[in-house]
């Protein structure tokens, strides 16, 4: 039987809806189509609902990418970036982009999304007038925010308020202008809108309601706006967030039926049987959807249709959550006043809680929750199913845990949810899928569940529910290590603390303890060093390393011994030394009568038995010979062990010594979550023991094999192979990027092998080996942080002409304050 050639599927647009559709399609019919995508943006697919955390600084672009280049390659997808489609020829069945690229199709999916509406008031074309729709808009806002000043946001809907919050977090003054009497009037009733406006005002965002924009002021750039009532508000940026329109012109020009959006049936088919529409550009039963959950639901239907199925889309009930740190808000359904409706309201002014359920014929048709939103998913499920709530009418407002008249174990409430109950609205993940994936794949951690199901992987507001499902499914086998408090001073775990430091822009230990409600006044020996590391890592150019929050070994740059004396380890680059350095060490040994001199496992010389009061003078003498601290005490780069390599060894394939020295000089002084030991072996005989280090390199004839996540201490573990690269430059880039990824994601005192187990070796390979843009971004952030690295009180580092090479300088004396 002849092999049937795959059909040609062309997709116009590369947003979240077509991305989810392809995931479903590749599961159902992996070989049925040869897929080509035209993307107007010059990048891969990313999570648009997470643009607000990118704007506020909580996340970076790399954190919200959904499908990297490697994913397209692995699935045989041809992705044309920066290729905006100009024409659809339905007769020839071709699609042609503005840059001239043409593709033929058997089936076509139009997923062109929507366009932001710009109010055509005078001045709307001035530089500084921005929309808020995609990553390009966010980058423009971030660029504008660097100059400070005031941003004026027109529109107090969901996007407008998230834009206002993000710009405020970036240091701008912000005024929000809204035409209606209350904010988010489509999603909130007046009571909830009042509470939200009060909370935003407390965060420094000015809100002006019942205000209509007359014109935007300025000749060559934005200088402010004038309202219809004559008020003038000065500002350097205007963000319009007043609505969107389906991008349907391309379909209309091709003769496809268009109303407000591209008209589709229950199978997402347009008036042309070979053409489908998906996402915000589609109009189904008179409705155009702009939220992700209905787009994902329709994406699943379209994937089934393209795979030969007969699934139907019957429309969606939507819910809304605001992505502003510290504000809990949930809204769903129809909550307007009307005949035949009744409401149940709960207010707790002290706790800042407001709940309102709108009922009709004993069924929930609308819900607004502010301050306490944990029952949002349950109310939403009852609403979608049209469940009769008569039996629980008296206790309904108190939530699922109180049905039956008494509070229950939270997992009992989750247990009562049916398998098709939606847990993660952002990604459309139901309870049944999470349970099946946990049991089918043997998952035990929240990170694993996120990786395999995407539940709680976007905005994170459903994390608690996901954890309850895990606890219900795994029972005693569930070990929520990721959410264990970092110490007794706080209820927060390491991950939450680090996330909130970025989200809230906290740049000092007192600020962290105040804003995150530490239980103690000054912290403890467990949390202060962790906070100091996170602040050094997250704000390298703004935070001054607090030596009093470091362990004694780090403060005095020497390892305390059991008899109270100290050992000093000068740095020897790659384990290489010379006669001048050896003489200097010998002189120090004689002068201070140091009783023990030992060669370390990291190929350096350790001077043991030094009295604490002699440390300043010891370092001063060593500094005269050019020595800097070997940081044998540090939660940072310690050593790069090398063999003699191709220069001397008859088996050597590469210059392992030279590469080791280059890596060490490039990376020294960089703090990491835990100690970091490297090694470079010149051949597979592995004399430098690179396969049990945190990061290792094995030199081979064809290049450099990079290893990571080894251990040779309390735990014994061989390394994982990251990948093979051809040149020294590539080896350095990959090692530095891997280190930076570990620096940004590792918990304090978490060794790299434990971090790799938690994150996943494949995920690390994907980000470092498979994603060039992300790898280079990690590398650049490392280089940036090194410019501000506070190495130690006795040494300085200055940058040479080549940014990849750092030159150690003489020591500058011992700081008595470091004691």
Check which CATH number belongs to the domain holding 679 and give it: 3.30.413.10
Longest dimension (CA), the chain: 96
CA distance 231 to 209: 13
pLDDT bracket for residue 479 (50, 70, 90): low
3-state secondary structure 504-519: CCCCCHHHHHHHCCCC
Which CATH number fits the domain that encloses residue 343? 1.10.10.1100
Specify if 593 maps to a domain: no
473/346 same-domain check: yes
- Helix (H/G/I), strand (E/B), else coil: 414: helix
- Of 345-349, 664-668, 755-759, 793-797, give the lowest mean pLDDT range: 793-797
More confident residue, 461 or 481: 461
Strands 173-177, 150-154: pairing is: parallel
Specify if 121 maps to a domain: no
The pLDDT of residue 442: 87
Dihedral, CA atoms, 228, 233, 239, 245, nearest 10 degrees?
Answer: -10
The pLDDT of residue 796: 35
Average of pLDDT values for 307-315? 94
Contact at 8 Å (CB) between 791 and 628?
Answer: yes
Specify if 617 maps to a domain: no
More confident residue, 709 or 402: 709
452/423 same-domain check: yes
Specify if 762 maps to a domain: yes
CA distance 793 to 801: 24
- Of 257-266, 543-552, 592-601, 730-739, give the lowest mean pLDDT range: 543-552
728/648 same-domain check: yes
Q: How far is CA 438 from the centre of its chain?
A: 23
Average of pLDDT values for 440-456? 84
Q: How many structural domains does the chain have?
A: 5
Average of pLDDT values for 356-369? 91
Strand order in 566-568's β-sheet? Answer: 559-560, 566-568, 605-610, 596-599
Tokens of 505: 């822009």
Specify if 556 maps to a domain: no
402/543 same-domain check: no
The pLDDT of residue 408: 44
What does the DSSP 8-state code read for residue 550? S
The pLDDT of residue 567: 85
The pLDDT of residue 595: 87
Q: Percent of the chain having pLDDT more than 90? A: 47
Statement: residue 795 has pLDDT above 50: no
Statement: residue 811 has pLDDT above 50: no
The pLDDT of residue 320: 81
Average of pLDDT values for 178-191? 88
pLDDT in tens, 626-635: 888 877 778 8
Nearest to 637 by CA among 678, 694, 676: 676
More confident residue, 712 or 302: 302
471/514 same-domain check: no
Average of pLDDT values for 16-26? 95
CA distance 292 to 289: 8
Average of pLDDT values for 314-323? 82
pLDDT in tens, 322-346: 777 678 888 988 877 777 888 888 8
Bridge partner list, 795: 792
- Helix (H/G/I), strand (E/B), else coil: 32: coil
Say which residues have a Cβ less than 8 Å from residue 492's Cβ, sequence separation at least 6: 485, 486, 500, 516
Average of pLDDT values for 1-26? 89
663/758 same-domain check: yes
CA distance 252 to 265: 17
What does the DSSP 8-state code read for residue 294? H
CA distance 51 to 55: 6
Nearest to 527 by CA among 503, 541, 509: 509
- Helix (H/G/I), strand (E/B), else coil: 490: coil
Nearest to 433 by CA among 420, 450, 451: 420
Last residue of a domain, one of 242, 257, 277: 242
Statement: residue 721 has pLDDT above 50: yes
The pLDDT of residue 712: 87
Specify if 138 maps to a domain: yes
More confident residue, 730 or 550: 730
More confident residue, 177 or 475: 177
- Of 53-62, 266-275, 281-290, 722-731, give the lowest mean pLDDT range: 53-62
pLDDT bracket for residue 449 (50, 70, 90): confident
pLDDT bracket for residue 789 (50, 70, 90): low
Specify if 597 maps to a domain: no
The pLDDT of residue 794: 38
The pLDDT of residue 336: 74
Last residue of a domain, one of 199, 214, 242: 242
The pLDDT of residue 3: 59
Statement: residue 120 has pLDDT above 90: yes
The pLDDT of residue 419: 83
The radius of gyration of the chain from alpha carbons, rounded to an integer in Å, stands at: 30
Contact at 8 Å (CB) between 297 and 273?
Answer: no
- 399-413: string of b/e by CB count within 10 Å (b at 16+)? bbbbbeeeeeebbeb
The pLDDT of residue 207: 95
H-helix or E-strand spanning residue 331? strand 329-333
- 543-574: string of b/e by CB count within 10 Å (b at 16+)? bebbbebbeebbbbbbbeeeeebbbbbbbbbb
Is 129 exposed, middle or buried (CB count within 10 Å of its CB: 0-12, 13-18, 19+)? buried
650/773 same-domain check: yes
Average of pLDDT values for 234-263? 95
433/397 same-domain check: yes
Last residue of a domain, one of 443, 477, 511: 477
79/142 same-domain check: no
The pLDDT of residue 813: 29
Contact at 8 Å (CB) between 397 and 346?
Answer: yes
Domain that holds residue 520: 494-550
- Of 112-116, 465-469, 531-535, 608-612, give the lowest mean pLDDT range: 465-469
More confident residue, 628 or 663: 663
Specify if 567 maps to a domain: no
Which CATH number fits the domain that encloses residue 145? 3.50.50.60
pLDDT bracket for residue 792 (50, 70, 90): very low
416/511 same-domain check: no
Statement: residue 36 has pLDDT above 70: yes
- Helix (H/G/I), strand (E/B), else coil: 509: helix
The pLDDT of residue 44: 94
Cα–Cα distances (Å) from 370 to 41, 207, 357, in that order, read 36, 19, 12
Tokens of 308: 């030969």
Strands 711-712, 716-717: pairing is: antiparallel
Say which residues have a Cβ less than 8 Å from residue 403's Cβ, sequence separation at least 6: 392, 395, 396, 416
Q: What's the whole-number average pLDDT of the chain? A: 86
Average of pLDDT values for 146-171? 93
Bridge partner list, 641: 679
Phi, psi dihedral angles at 345 (to 5 degrees): -125, 135
Average of pLDDT values for 3-22? 93
The pLDDT of residue 521: 63
425/527 same-domain check: no
pLDDT bracket for residue 547 (50, 70, 90): low
pLDDT bracket for residue 649 (50, 70, 90): confident
Average of pLDDT values for 533-537? 89
Statement: residue 585 has pLDDT above 60: yes
Statement: residue 805 has pLDDT above 60: no
- Helix (H/G/I), strand (E/B), else coil: 596: strand
Phi, psi dihedral angles at 196 (to 5 degrees): -65, -45
Cα–Cα distances (Å) from 276 to 163, 530, 710, in that order, read 32, 52, 50
CA distance 160 to 166: 10
58/84 same-domain check: yes
Is 331 exposed, middle or buried (CB count within 10 Å of its CB: 0-12, 13-18, 19+)? buried
């Amino acid at each position: 039987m002849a092999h049937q050639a795959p059909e040609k599927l062309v997709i116009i647009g590369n947003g979240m809806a077509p991305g989810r559709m392809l995931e479903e399609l590749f599961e159902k019919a992996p070989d049925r189509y040869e897929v080509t995508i035209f993307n107007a943006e010059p990048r891969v697919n990313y999570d648009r609902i997470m643009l607000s955390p990118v704007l506020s600084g909580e996340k970076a672009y790399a954190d919200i990418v959904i499908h990297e280049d490697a994913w397209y390659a692995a699935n045989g997808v041809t992705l044309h970036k920066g290729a905006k489609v100009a024409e659809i020829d339905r007769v020839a069945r071709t699609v042609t982009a503005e840059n001239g690229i043409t593709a033929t199709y058997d089936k076509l999916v139009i997923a062109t999304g929507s366009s932001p509406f710009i109010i055509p008031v005078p001045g709307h074309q001035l530089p500084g007038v921005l929309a808020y729709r995609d990553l390009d808009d966010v980058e423009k806002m971030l660029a504008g925010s660097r100059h400070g000043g005031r941003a004026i946001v027109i529109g107090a809907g969901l996007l407008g308020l998230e834009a206002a919050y993000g710009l405020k977090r970036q240091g701008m003054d912000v005024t929000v202008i809204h035409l209606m009497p209350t904010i988010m009037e489509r999603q909130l009733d007046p009571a909830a809108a009042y509470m939200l406006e009060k909370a935003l005002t407390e965060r420094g965002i000015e809100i002006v309601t019942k205000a209509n924009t007359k014109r935007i002021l300025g000749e060559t750039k934005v200088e402010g706006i004038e309202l219809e009532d004559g008020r003038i508000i000065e500002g350097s940026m205007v963000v319009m967030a007043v609505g969107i329109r389906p991008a349907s012109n391309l379909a209309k020009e091709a003769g496809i039926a268009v109303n407000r959006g591209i008209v589709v049936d229950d199978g997402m088919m347009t008036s042309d049987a070979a053409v489908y529409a998906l996402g915000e550009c589609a109009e189904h039963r008179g409705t155009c959807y702009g939220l992700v959950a209905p787009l994902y639901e329709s994406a699943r239907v379209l994937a089934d249709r393209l795979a030969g199925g007969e699934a139907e889309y019957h429309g969606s009930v939507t819910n809304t959550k605001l992505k502003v740190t510290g504000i809990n808000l949930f809204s769903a359904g129809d909550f307007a006043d009307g005949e035949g409706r009744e409401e149940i309201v709960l207010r707790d002014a002290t706790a800042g809680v407001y709940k309102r359920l709108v009922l009709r014929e004993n069924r929930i048709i609308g819900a607004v929750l502010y301050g306490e939103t944990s029952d949002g998913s349950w109310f939403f499920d009852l609403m979608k199913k049209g469940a009769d709530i008569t039996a629980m009418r008296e206790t309904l407002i108190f939530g699922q845990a109180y049905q039956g008249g008494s509070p229950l174990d939270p997992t009992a409430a989750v247990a009562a949810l049916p398998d098709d109950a939606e847990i993660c609205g952002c990604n459309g993940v139901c309870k049944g899928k999470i349970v099946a994936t946990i049991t089918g794949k043997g998952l035990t951690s929240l990170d694993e569940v996120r990786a395999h199901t995407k539940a709680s992987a976007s905005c994170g507001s459903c994390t608690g529910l996901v954890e309850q499902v895990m606890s219900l499914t795994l029972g005693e086998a569930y070990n929520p290590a990721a959410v264990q408090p970092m110490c007794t001073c706080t209820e927060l775990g390491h991950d939450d603390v680090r996330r909130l430091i970025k989200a809230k822009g906290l740049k000092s230990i007192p600020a962290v303890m105040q804003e995150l409600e530490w239980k103690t006044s000054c912290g403890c020996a467990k949390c202060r060093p962790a906070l100091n590391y996170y602040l050094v890592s997250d704000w390298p150019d703004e935070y001054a390393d607090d030596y009093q929050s470091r362990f004694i070994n780090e403060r005095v740059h020497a390892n305390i011994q059991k008899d109270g004396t100290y050992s000093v380890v000068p740095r020897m680059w790659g384990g290489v030394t010379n006669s001048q350095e050896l003489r200097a060490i010998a002189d120090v040994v004689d002068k201070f009568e140091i009783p023990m001199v030992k060669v370390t496992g990291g190929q350096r010389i350790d001077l043991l038995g030094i009295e604490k009061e002699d440390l300043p003078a010891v370092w001063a003498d060593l500094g005269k010979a050019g020595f800097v601290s070997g940081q044998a005490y540090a939660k940072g780069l310690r050593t790069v062990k090398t063999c003699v390599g191709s220069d001397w060894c008859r088996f050597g394939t590469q210059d392992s010594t030279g590469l080791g020295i280059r890596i060490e000089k490039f990376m020294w002084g960089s703090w990491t979550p835990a100690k970091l030991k490297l090694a470079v072996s010149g051949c597979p005989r592995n004399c430098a023991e690179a396969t049990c280090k945190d990061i290792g390199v094995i030199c081979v004839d064809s290049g450099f094999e990079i290893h990571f996540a080894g251990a040779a201490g309390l735990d014994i573990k061989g390394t994982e192979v990251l990948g093979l690269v051809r040149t020294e430059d590539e080896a350095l880039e990959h090692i530095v990027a891997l280190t930076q990824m570990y620096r940004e994601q590792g918990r304090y005192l978490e060794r790299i092998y434990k971090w790799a187990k938690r994150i996943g070796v494949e995920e690390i390979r994907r980000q470092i080996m498979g994603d060039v843009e992300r790898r280079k971004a990690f590398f650049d952030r490392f280089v940036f942080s090194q410019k501000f690295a506070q190495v130690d009180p006795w040494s300085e580092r200055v940058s040479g002409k080549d940014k990849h090479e750092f030159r150690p300088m003489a020591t500058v004396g011992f700081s008595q304050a470091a004691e």
